[in-house]
Amino acid sequence: MPDSIPDSDTASAPPQPALSPLSLPHLRTSLSEIKRTLTTHHFATLKLQAANITTIGILETYTHLTTISLPNNLISDISPIVKRANLQHLDLSGNKVKSVPRTLWERLITCEMARNEIDSWEEGSAAELCKLDLGRK
């Protein structure tokens, strides 16, 4: 006979998904669309949704990405991608982003940041921006 009876709330609760930083295994399965630059070929697109990604520090080394799509994750710090000269399309909708610096969005063509926790948006010029989504739903 067991020493204790499990609490009915915890006994039937589904297991929580593991939280993780964006890592090489994620990148190997999510990078696509190789484009030619002046000297070589580079991956241009990263798409990975609802993978419980918490940090994106590894993207500091992927400077040639033109599209980053990481919707419905748990990302709050976007500093690794704010100074991307090549980034044109960004989808971080459904994350936990609180602040969006001007250096991120002023070069973008599309910026999807709906369903985040944004409380700070730096003003500036967005001459190339064609689509901006900051919706709450």
Instruction: Please state the domain count of the chain.
Output: 1
Q: Which residue has the higher pLDDT, 66 or 32?
A: 66
Tell me whether residue 8 is in a domain.
no
Determine the structural domain holding residue 126 and report its residue range. 20-133
Tell me whether residue 63 is in a domain.
yes
Specify the DSSP element, H or E, that contains 131: strand 131-133
Closest CA to 80 of 94, 68, 96: 68
Tell me whether residue 15 is in a domain.
no
The half-sphere exposure of 45 on its side-chain side, counting CA atoms within 13 A, is: 6
What is the predicted pLDDT for the residue at 68? 95
Query: 91: domain CATH number?
Result: 3.80.10.10
Q: Which residue has the higher pLDDT, 79 or 127?
A: 79
Question: pTM for this one?
Answer: 0.75
Specify the DSSP element, H or E, that contains 112: strand 110-112
Cα torsion through 52, 30, 78, 80, rounded to 10: 130
What is the predicted pLDDT for the residue at 129? 85
68 vs 79: CA distance, rounded Å: 14
* β-bridge mates for residue 57, sequence order: none
Closest CA to 24 of 63, 69, 56: 56
